[in-house]
Amino acid sequence: MDRIPIIKVGDFLLVSIQVDMHDRLVMSLQDDLTTQVVKARAKGVLIDISSLDVVDSFIGRMLGNMASMTRVLGAEAVVVGMRPAVATTIVELGLSLTNVRTALDVDKGMAVLRALVNPAGDEGGHGSGQN
């Protein structure tokens, strides 16, 4: 695979990373995503990493970048599904990703996005990320 698919779901974009990515693939995803956020006038981005069994500092930095860039473009981003072993490892590596919002799974991530995009609506979701 030479591109990670980005799917539009209503006002949101869903990126589901299903393969172990080499660095160039990571970079192209970053480019594609920012382009798509603008083109689709997306209000939120959901990045599902539940299939990833390794997140190193490069992928970690990319996740942080995608979250920040999305925010700069006026949308919200949530990273969902990080595995326990991956979380333990990247904390030890020294990566904190404090600017990235997170949620347990796609459903909860969607709830977080809806609550962020439409704070008046009674969605009941909550983000655990700090800004």
Partner 1 sequence: MGPGRTETFPLRTDEDVLRVRQTVRIWMVEQRTFSLVEQTKMVTATSELGRNVVVHGGGGTARLELLSEGGRLGIRVTFQDQGPGIASIEQASRDGFTTGDGLGLGLGGSKRLVDDFEIASEVGKGTRVTITKWK
Partner 2 sequence: MTTSRQSRIAEILTRHEKPILEEWLREQLDALTARQDLISESDLRIQSAEFLGLFTSACRAGSLTDITTVEWKPVQDFLAGVSRSRALQGFSPSETATVVFSLKQPLFARLRKELGADAAALADEMWTATVLLDKLGLYTTEVFQKAREEVIKRQQLEMLELSTPVVKLWDGVLAVPLIGTLDSVRTQVVMDNLLQSIVETGSTIAIVDITGVPTVDTLVAQHLLKTVSAARLMGAQCIISGIRPQIAQTIVQLGVEFGDVVTKASLADALAHAFRLIGCTVTRQAPRA
Q: By CB under 8 A, is residue 126 in contact with partner 2?
A: yes
Give the range of 15-23, 27-35, 38-46, 96-104 binding partner 2 by CB under 8 A: 96-104
**Which residues contribute to the site for partner 1 (CB under 8 A)?**
20-25, 53-58, 60-61, 84-86, 88-90, 92-95
Integer-rounded Cα radius of gyration of the chain: 14
The entry of partner 2, partner 1, none that residue 9 binds, CB within 5 to 8 Å by partner kind: none
- Number of residues in the chain: 131
Q: By CB under 8 A, is residue 104 in contact with partner 2?
A: yes
The entry of partner 2, partner 1, none that residue 128 binds, CB within 5 to 8 Å by partner kind: partner 2
Q: By CB under 8 A, is residue 92 in contact with partner 2?
A: yes
The entry of partner 2, partner 1, none that residue 20 binds, CB within 5 to 8 Å by partner kind: partner 1
Largest CA distance in the chain: 41
Least Cα distance to 107 among 54, 48, 63 occurs for 48
CA dist 57 and 14 (Å) reads 23
**CB closer to partner 2 out of 20 and 105:** 105
Q: In what order do the strands lie in the sheet with 6-9?
A: 6-9, 12-16, 44-48, 76-80, 101-103
Q: What secondary structure letter does DSSP report for 104?
A: S
Contact assessment for residue 50 and residue 105, using Cβ atoms and an 8 Å cutoff: yes
**Interface contacts to partner 2, rule CB under 8 A:** 80-84, 86-88, 90-92, 96-97, 102-105, 108-109, 124, 126, 128-130
